[in-house]
Amino acid sequence: MGFEASIRETTGQPVVIGKLDPPAASPRPPHILFYGHYDVQPADPLQLWDSPPFSPQIRRGKDGKDRIFARGASDDKGQLMTFLEASRAWLSQVGSLPFRLTIMLEGDEEGDSTHIDRFLALNAREFKADAAFICDTELWMDETPAIITRLRGCIDDEVIVTGPKIDLHSGYYGGPAVNPIKVLSRILADMHDSRGRVTIPGFYDGVKPPSAERRREWSKLRFSAKKYLGDVGLSQPAGETAFTPLEQMWARPTAEFNGIFGGYRGAGSKTVLPAEATAKLTFRLVEGQNPRKIHKAFRDFVKARLPKDCKARFSGGHGDSTGISIAADTPWVIAARKALEDEWGRPAALIGCGASIPVVESFKTHLGIDSLLVGFARDADSVHSPNEKYDVECYHKGIRSWARIISEFA
Amino acid sequence: MGFEASIRETTGQPVVIGKLDPPAASPRPPHILFYGHYDVQPADPLQLWDSPPFSPQIRRGKDGKDRIFARGASDDKGQLMTFLEASRAWLSQVGSLPFRLTIMLEGDEEGDSTHIDRFLALNAREFKADAAFICDTELWMDETPAIITRLRGCIDDEVIVTGPKIDLHSGYYGGPAVNPIKVLSRILADMHDSRGRVTIPGFYDGVKPPSAERRREWSKLRFSAKKYLGDVGLSQPAGETAFTPLEQMWARPTAEFNGIFGGYRGAGSKTVLPAEATAKLTFRLVEGQNPRKIHKAFRDFVKARLPKDCKARFSGGHGDSTGISIAADTPWVIAARKALEDEWGRPAALIGCGASIPVVESFKTHLGIDSLLVGFARDADSVHSPNEKYDVECYHKGIRSWARIISEFA
Domain boundary among B316, B344, B365: B316
pLDDT tens across B372-401, in order? 999 999 989 999 899 999 999 999 999 999
The CATH number given to whatever domain includes residue B177 is: 3.30.70.360
Q: Are B143 and B290 in a shared domain?
A: no
Q: How far apart are CA A8 and CA A95, in angstroms?
A: 28
Q: How far apart are CA A394 and CA A274, in angstroms?
A: 55
CB contact under 8 Å between B261 and A257, yes or no, is: no
CB contact under 8 Å between A182 and B188, yes or no, is: yes
- Looking at the domain assignment, is residue B238 inside a domain? no
- Give the mean model confidence (pLDDT) for residues A323-336: 93
pLDDT band at A107 (very low <50, low <70, confident <90, very high): very high
Whole-number pLDDT of residue A204: 98
- Looking at the domain assignment, is residue B243 inside a domain? no
Which has the closest alpha carbon to B66: B317, B342, B394?
B394
- Looking at the domain assignment, is residue B245 inside a domain? no
- Looking at the domain assignment, is residue A178 inside a domain? yes
Task: Write the residue in B263, B268, B307 that is nearest to A257 by C-beta.
Answer: B263
Q: Are B173 and B260 in a shared domain?
A: yes
Q: How far apart are CA B29 and CA B124, in angstroms?
A: 19
pLDDT tens across A225-240, in order? 999 999 999 999 999 9
DSSP label at residue B140: B
Domain boundary among A277, A296, A316: A316
Query: ω into residue A27 within 30 of 0, thus cis?
Result: yes
A154 in Cβ contact with B271 (< 8 Å):
yes
Q: Are B35 and B136 in a shared domain?
A: yes
Q: Are A312 and A333 in a shared domain?
A: no
- Give the mean model confidence (pLDDT) for residues A163-169: 93
CA distance A290 to chain B (A): 18
Query: ω into residue A76 within 30 of 0, thus cis?
Result: yes
| CA angle (A311 as vertex; A307, A314 as ends), nearest 5 | 130
pLDDT band at B348 (very low <50, low <70, confident <90, very high): very high
Whole-number pLDDT of residue B214: 87
Which of B138, B151, B182 to mutate against chain A (most A CBs within 10 Å)? B182
pLDDT tens across B185-209, in order? 999 999 999 999 999 999 999 999 8
Task: Write the residue in A171, A259, A318 that is nearest to B262 by C-beta.
Answer: A259
Q: How far apart are CA A220 and CA A362, in angstroms?
A: 32
- Looking at the domain assignment, is residue B118 inside a domain? yes
The answer to which of A63-72, A131-140, A213-222, B120-129 has the lowest mean pLDDT is: A213-222
β-pairing, B168-169 vs A168-169, is unpaired
The H helix count followed by the E strand count for chain B is 12, 18
Whole-number pLDDT of residue B237: 95
Q: What is the mean pLDDT of chain B?
A: 95
Q: What is the ipTM of this complex?
A: 0.90
Question: How many CB atoms within 10 Å of residue B47?
Answer: 6
For the whole model, what pTM was predicted?
Answer: 0.90
A332 in Cβ contact with A338 (< 8 Å):
no
CB contact under 8 Å between A174 and B228, yes or no, is: no
CA distance A25 to chain B (A): 44
CB contact under 8 Å between B238 and A318, yes or no, is: no
CB contact under 8 Å between B174 and A228, yes or no, is: no
Task: Write the residue in B165, B176, B234 that is nearest to A164 by C-beta.
Answer: B234
Q: In the A/B pair of chains, how many CB contacts fall below 8 A?
A: 284
Question: How many CB atoms within 10 Å of residue B199?
Answer: 11
Which of B137, B173, B184 to mutate against chain A (most A CBs within 10 Å)? B173
Q: Are A76 and A147 in a shared domain?
A: yes
A167 in Cβ contact with A273 (< 8 Å):
yes
SS3 B266: coil
- Looking at the domain assignment, is residue A43 inside a domain? yes
pLDDT tens across B214-240, in order? 889 899 998 999 999 999 999 999 999
DSSP H or E segment with residue B393: helix B392-409
- Give the mean model confidence (pLDDT) for residues A78-103: 97
- Looking at the domain assignment, is residue A47 inside a domain? yes
Q: Are B350 and B299 in a shared domain?
A: no
Largest CA distance in chain A: 85
Report how far Cα B70 is from the mean position of its chain's Cα atoms: 23
Judging contacts by C-beta atoms under 8 Å, the chain B residues touching residue A152 are 171, 174
* pLDDT over threshold 90, residue A287: yes
* pLDDT over threshold 80, residue B62: yes
Judging contacts by C-beta atoms under 8 Å, the chain B residues touching residue A189 are 182, 185-186, 188-190
Torsion of CA A164, A170, A171, A175, to 10 degrees: 70
Whole-number pLDDT of residue B22: 86
* pLDDT over threshold 80, residue A25: no
* pLDDT over threshold 80, residue A283: yes
Judging contacts by C-beta atoms under 8 Å, the chain A residues touching residue B279 are 181
Q: How far apart are CA A174 and CA B284, in angstroms?
A: 7
Chain B residue whose CA is closest to A309 = B234
For chain A, the C-alpha Rg in angstroms (whole number) is 25
Q: Are A102 and A196 in a shared domain?
A: no
Whole-number pLDDT of residue B26: 74
* pLDDT over threshold 90, residue B316: no
Q: How far apart are CA A212 and CA B176, in angstroms?
A: 21
| CA angle (A75 as vertex; A69, A81 as ends), nearest 5 | 85
* pLDDT over threshold 90, residue A311: yes
CB contact under 8 Å between B176 and A277, yes or no, is: no
Long-range contacts of B238-245 (CB under 8 A, 24+ apart): B238/A175, B238/A176, B238/A177, B238/A178, B238/A179, B238/A307, B238/A309, B238/B196, B239/A175, B239/A176, B239/B196, B240/A175, B240/B195, B240/B196, B240/B197, B241/B195, B241/B196, B242/B195, B242/B197, B244/B218, B244/B219, B245/A175, B245/A176
Torsion of CA B299, B302, B305, B310, to 10 degrees: -100
Chain B residue whose CA is closest to A266 = B259
The torsion angles phi and psi of B108, rounded to 5 degrees, stand at -130, 25
CB contact under 8 Å between A179 and B233, yes or no, is: no
Judging contacts by C-beta atoms under 8 Å, the chain A residues touching residue B179 are 238, 256-257
Q: Are B63 and B140 in a shared domain?
A: yes
Which of B170, B314, B351, B360 to mutate against chain A (most A CBs within 10 Å)? B170
Residue B88 lies in domain: 4-151+325-409
Q: Are A25 and A111 in a shared domain?
A: yes
Judging contacts by C-beta atoms under 8 Å, the chain B residues touching residue A172 are 249, 354-355
CA distance A91 to chain B (A): 39
Q: Are B10 and B126 in a shared domain?
A: yes
Judging contacts by C-beta atoms under 8 Å, the chain B residues touching residue A190 are 189
Judging contacts by C-beta atoms under 8 Å, the chain A residues touching residue B309 are 233-236, 238
The CATH number given to whatever domain includes residue B371 is: 3.40.630.10
Burial class (CB in 10 A: 0-12, 13-18, 19+), B148: buried
DSSP label at residue B28: P
Query: ω into residue B45 within 30 of 0, thus cis?
Result: yes
CB contact under 8 Å between B256 and A273, yes or no, is: yes
Q: How many domains does chain A have?
A: 2
- Looking at the domain assignment, is residue B383 inside a domain? yes
* pLDDT over threshold 90, residue A135: yes
- Give the mean model confidence (pLDDT) for residues B35-46: 93
Kindly state the percentage of chain A with pLDDT values over 90: 87
SS3 B75: coil
Q: Are B141 and B161 in a shared domain?
A: no
pLDDT band at A22 (very low <50, low <70, confident <90, very high): confident
* pLDDT over threshold 90, residue B320: no
Judging contacts by C-beta atoms under 8 Å, the chain A residues touching residue B252 are 175
pLDDT band at A410 (very low <50, low <70, confident <90, very high): confident
Q: Which residues have CB under 8 Å from A139's CB, separation 6+?
A: A145, A146, A375, A376, A377, A378, A394
Domain boundary among A276, A293, A316: A316
Judging contacts by C-beta atoms under 8 Å, the chain B residues touching residue A235 are 308-309
- Give the mean model confidence (pLDDT) for residues B307-313: 97
* pLDDT over threshold 90, residue B28: no
* pLDDT over threshold 90, residue B58: yes
pLDDT band at B107 (very low <50, low <70, confident <90, very high): very high
Whole-number pLDDT of residue A158: 97
CB contact under 8 Å between A177 and B318, yes or no, is: no
* pLDDT over threshold 80, residue B270: yes
Q: What length does chain B have? A: 410
Question: How many CB atoms within 10 Å of residue B261?
Answer: 22
Chain B residue whose CA is closest to A229 = B177
pLDDT tens across B152-195, in order? 999 999 999 999 999 999 999 999 999 999 999 999 999 999 99
pLDDT tens across A112-124, in order? 889 999 999 999 9
Q: Are B311 and B331 in a shared domain?
A: no
Burial class (CB in 10 A: 0-12, 13-18, 19+), B227: exposed
Question: How many CB atoms within 10 Å of residue A166?
Answer: 10
Judging contacts by C-beta atoms under 8 Å, the chain B residues touching residue A168 are 232
